[in-house]
Chain A
């Protein structure tokens, strides 16, 4: 029996999350099949052939890759697998629960540890606690937290390719438009360094003027607290935390962020955490490796300059 991993892709290439999912599937034991489903996604499917550990790539043309159609497709494929694995991104979270419900099995969300093929550890309460659960179903449907699994390499595999019949089901919901924020910066989820700002930045202009030059110096991604997003300093997809993105870069610099548990949920697995805050009592200092108590209006320009000089 094999494991089905759902690829996340933009039809041309695979997104980083997919390589984390394959790494997690590798811990389950079994052949790994990768499903690439989308509109004109053959290029992405071919890409998948070179990913290590994958033995077979199945690809399907979907006329309308809605949550309902993706779920129906995966529901029909699942019975020949022991596990179905996707990343706990807004893509996987959107429709994998439909598959589980249609098959009458549980979904185990946000897995951070695989202890055996039926026993998993996952965070609850914004990561304040972890729970170890055993699945009593014969098919296990998992979303994995990408930051908990080191991604497999980009190339090195030699999977075969199988095309499944195109699906032209009408589906119920349809995408009207997307407003994706493109940026020259590294991706928030895969960046080596993240500079994140909170309410302490005071305004959208200030957020940009202070944090962009620092991020430029460090070739870092920009992130934010919920307060910064709610106040309109930055778009929603910058949000790090319980209800935003989970990141674990080598260096996370939190600027003017108090460190609410809901924020920590999204960044406390970063390798090194730096906190810059004028309030020495701010909870962010409890998780910071290096804390600097001070006014960000002075600290950030000085830090940016120090980085520019020393490169």
Chain B
């Protein structure tokens, strides 16, 4: 079984984003970029399947500009065997990412795709589900545990609003990883060195015969309305008085 893990290069989660001067996007130049945290978890899940003898090969893929190759090297340092860089604009939409990923999945006869549940830049939470639909495959989103049997039946525990849910599905399938699926490992220096020699192949949307015309037009990126600043109270008594008489919420 071959496992595909789509990974996205995003602004590091510790950095506060700001709108670009022209207000048409987010300022990224010179800032620290990282692999989307959910994709690290997805990668870890795939590598563990390989280590458990359930998967033969783990393939990473990213859609983005040339700089995204850095994230593929990280993915290979974390255990992916090889990777694909599909050249596309940085602000490519989830639907178009899903179309490109579907083409890669078909080309490589993938059995299982593990995505992150959401990219922490656009917060769309769509790509995995769209990919599953385009491939006509079942899905299990927001996974916090995966059990796979040798016949290709999976039991996936999903984090849902009311608690947890277990679903059963058969391969081929798409899973999206939630935060508690695992604790991703760190890339060790020897593995970072080895990753430099692993295959990284370039693909274009044309080669994959996928059109990536936008369906959305970004009109503006801006700071949301700020909260007005509050006050410090000296003790519980003052807090209760203010909540009662000033804020009138208790």
Contact = CB atoms under 8 A, between A and B. Distances in A.
Interface residues of A, number: 89
A105 B95 contact: yes
B142 A307 contact: no
A22 B36 CA distance: 33
Given A68-B138, A109-B126, A193-B249, A310 B240 contact: yes
Interface in B1-54: 11, 13, 16-19, 26
Q: Helix, strand, loop or mixed for chain A's interface?
A: mixed
Point out which of B26, B132, B134 has the most chain A C-beta atoms below 10 A from its C-beta: B132
B223 A130 contact: yes
A173 B221 contact: no
B16 A261 contact: yes
B138 A66 contact: yes
Contact of A124 (B121, B133, B168): B121
Given A94-B129, A291-B233, A299-B236, A173 B163 contact: no
A133 B170 CA distance: 37
A277 B133 CA distance: 46
A251 B224 CA distance: 21
B224 A123 contact: yes
B63 to A, nearest CB: 15
A153 interface: no
B144 to A, nearest CB: 7
Contact of A131 (B18, B214, B220, B236): B220
A245 B120 CA distance: 15
Contact of B121 (A125, A173, A178, A291): A125
Contacts, number: 249
Interface in B220-250: 220-224, 227, 229-233, 235-237, 239-240, 242-244, 247, 249-250
A236 B133 contact: no
Interface stretch (A38-46, A155-163, A201-209, A267-275): A267-275
Given A243-B118, A243-B178, A89 B161 contact: yes
Interface in B135-169: 137-142, 144, 155, 158-169
Contacts of B98: 101
Interface of A: 66-68, 71, 89-91, 93-102, 104-110, 119, 123-137, 171-181, 189, 193, 218, 226, 229-230, 235-237, 242-243, 245, 250-251, 261-262, 268, 271-274, 280, 285-294, 299, 302-303, 306-307, 310
Given A89-B161, A93-B125, A109-B126, 20 more contacts: A90-B161, A94-B142, A96-B129, A97-B130, A101-B133, A102-B133, A107-B124, A109-B125, A129-B17, A132-B218, A132-B222, A172-B138, A230-B180, A237-B162, A243-B117, A268-B227, A273-B227, A294-B235, A302-B236, A306-B240
